Amino acid sequence: MENNLKYDLIQQIVKTEDDTVLEQIRLLLESINNDWYFSISEEERNSILRGKEDLAKGNKLSHSEVMAEAKSKFLK
């Protein structure tokens, strides 16, 4: 992130006297810091997105299909 953007945001926050705005900023920052999605790697996020795309395309298996495949593969 560009330092000028950070500096500008800090200046705006310091000048703001509206408690509602400040509370919204606090909640936004807390949600970002507490959201597990932002704590995983970009590769993991991309994998999640690919999985969601597969689901949207109908590329999925039921639990019983996965279990049957696992049994046939590992319990020979």
Query: Minimal CA–CA distance to 47: which of 67, 18, 9, 55?
Result: 55
Q: What is the value of pTM for the model shown? A: 0.45
- pLDDT tens readout for residues 27-71: 998 888 777 887 889 999 999 999 999 999 999 999 999 999 999
Cβ atoms within 10 Å, residue 25: 14
Per-residue confidence (pLDDT) for residue 36, from 0 to 100:
82
